[in-house]
Amino acid sequence: MRSYAVNISALVYSLGLVLGFELGVIAAANAFFAGILLVAMFTGYQLLEREGMPFLSAVRDIATRPDTYPRSTAYGAYVVSLALGFLVVSHTALTALTA
């Protein structure tokens, strides 16, 4: 149940971040750090779920083995949240470089 709440929270947070940034409600600098926070927190949670594994093996499983997740929706939530977080971070970085 806890992982379900974390997955839903991460999706809502990432969607809110993207919408807030694109609508101009969140400043670019704040969106950049919020995107980094999203990626770091959700990846950290996935690492905690694989606590007994060696670090490199856990990282490899997170990125390449969807069957290590309890449900396919957990993997989908992770991939979508990461993609949206990287979208916001890259968009804000490109905006800062061109300004």
pLDDT in tens, 10-44: 888 888 988 998 898 998 889 889 889 888 988 89
Domain that includes residue 72, residue range: 2-98
Q: Indicate if the pLDDT at residue 64 is higher than 70.
A: yes
Number of domains in the chain: 1
- Range 3-9 average pLDDT: 81
So what's the pLDDT on residue 1? 61
Q: What is the CB neighbour count within 10 angstroms for residue 3?
A: 16
Kindly give, in sequence order, each residue whose CB lies less than 8 Å from that of residue 35, ignoring residues fewer than 6 positions away.
Answer: 17, 85, 86, 87, 88, 89, 92
pTM, to two decimals: 0.78
